[in-house]
């Protein structure tokens, strides 16, 4: 039996942070009932590209869930949802602070109906504080917390990250962790609770080293100049002769020594503490003399923390991931099927089928809520 078998989750969230969190709960055995507005549903349903008539982004994040379409502003909406609220274990919502209260669906209102309910609110800035009601996206959150300022391009300007770190690392993952802790606590006390997930607050854990260096030693990090942000030849991206890139991370001496030998770095430049910029320039010059395949063969089988930068298409065909079954589950829509989104759950805790579909808007309304 999967760990969350018998747990019912009401998902009022949209877009990415909440839906990814509830997808993980679903994969671990929970029943997830997605509450959507009639007509359009989750905004992500309208996104391109499409998969069998549905947004592929929506389908990836909402496979296996149930969909209930209801106008939360309509008179009697709370009463219609009451049976679901009474039977729910977890509520996940992603509105700005106060919105669910105005709808009659805030934590205090739901707790009166179901004292055991675990209520998780995911927001950009949290439920309190001067910015609580500010709009924001991932880029704003990483900018405010200092994360964006740590990485700089050749011109010194911050570089747009390829990953939505705040949405997933600051929102989805902390939501799942705290919901599981709350369920464990409820097992002991019988009481539910309210969880305040601030995507902004949760980004500081990702910057432990920069906070530690600054507060303990007064060595506040400079953009693009620290050990893992561009200030060391041992942690760099080097361009190859054919315009591809080597990701070189031989940080420890045991890796660095072998790396220097493999590429033929002059002995005088191997002590990178003397002149890091000169060593980095020399390594860049050597790597640029040969194409990526040359370096792939050179590094193959050597334990030096170096590889060739791949695009996403190549990554999906990487033999390592195939052998581990990372893309072993699939998402079906009509006559089309694509790999399902890999989730950070050990296989022993998963209950989702090998192939799942995402729910059509409102497909389960009649099953879960009262008629008018």
DSSP characters for 150-208? G-B-TTSPBPPPSS-HIIIIIIIHHHHHHHHHHHHHHHHHS--EEEEEETTGGGGGGGH
11, 138, 167, 201: the catalytic one is 167
What length is written for the chain? 372
Contact by Cβ (8 Å): 116, 88: no
- Looking at residue 342, what DSSP letter applies? P
Active site residue 48: no
Active site residue 167: yes
Pick from 191, 226, 183: which is nearest to 3 by CA? Answer: 183
For 78, 101, 137, 161, the CA distances from 113, given in Å and listed in that order, are 11, 14, 33, 43
SS3 365: helix
Tokens for 239? 């361009």
SS3 238: strand
137, 196, 275, 364: the catalytic one is 137
Cα 367 from Cα 342, distance rounded (Å): 30
For 191, 277, 297, 309, the CA distances from 236, given in Å and listed in that order, are 50, 12, 19, 12
Catalytic residue list: 137, 167
């Amino acid at each position: 039996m999967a760990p969350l078998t018998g747990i019912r989750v009401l998902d009022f969230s949209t877009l990415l942070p909440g839906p990814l969190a509830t997808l993980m709960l679903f994969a671990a055995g929970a029943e997830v009932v997605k509450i959507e507005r009639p007509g359009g549903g989750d905004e992500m349903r309208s996104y391109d590209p499409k998969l069998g008539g549905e947004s592929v982004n929506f389908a990836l994040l909402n496979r296996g869930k149930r969909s209930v379409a209801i106008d939360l502003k309509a008179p009697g909406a709370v009463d219609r949802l009451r049976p679901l609220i009474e039977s729910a274990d977890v509520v996940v919502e992603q509105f700005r602070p106060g919105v669910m209260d105005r709808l009659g669906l805030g934590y205090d209102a739901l707790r009166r109906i179901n004292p055991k309910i675990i209520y998780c609110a995911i927001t950009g800035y949290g439920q309190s504080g001067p910015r609580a009601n500010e709009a924001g996206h991932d880029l704003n959150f990483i900018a405010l917390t200092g994360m964006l300022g740590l990485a700089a391009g050749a011109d010194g300007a911050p570089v747009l990250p390829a990953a939505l770190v705040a949405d997933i690392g600051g929102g989805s993952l902390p939501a799942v962790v705290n919901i599981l802790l709350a369920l464990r606590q409820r097992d002991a006390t019988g009481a539910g609770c309210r969880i305040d997930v601030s995507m902004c607050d949760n980004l500081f854990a990702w910057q432990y080293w920069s906070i530690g260096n600054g507060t303990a030693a007064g060595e506040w990090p400079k953009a693009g100049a620290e050990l893992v942000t561009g200030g060391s030849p041992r942690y760099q991206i080097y361009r190859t002769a054919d315009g591809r890139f080597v990701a070189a991370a031989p940080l420890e001496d045991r890796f660095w020594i072998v790396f220097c030998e493999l590429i033929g770095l002059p002995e005088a430049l191997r002590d990178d503490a003397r002149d890091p910029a000169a060593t980095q320039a020399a390594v860049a010059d050597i790597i640029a003399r040969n194409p990526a395949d040359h370096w792939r063969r050179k590094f193959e089988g050597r334990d030096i923390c170096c590889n060739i930068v791949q695009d996403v298409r190549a990554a999906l065909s990487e033999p390592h991931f195939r052998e581990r079954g990372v893309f072993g589950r699939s998402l079906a829509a009509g006559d089309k099927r694509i790999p399902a989104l890999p989730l950070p759950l050990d296989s022993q805790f998963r209950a989702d089928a090998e192939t799942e579909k995402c729910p059509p808007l409102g497909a389960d309304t009649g099953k879960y809520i009262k008629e008018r």
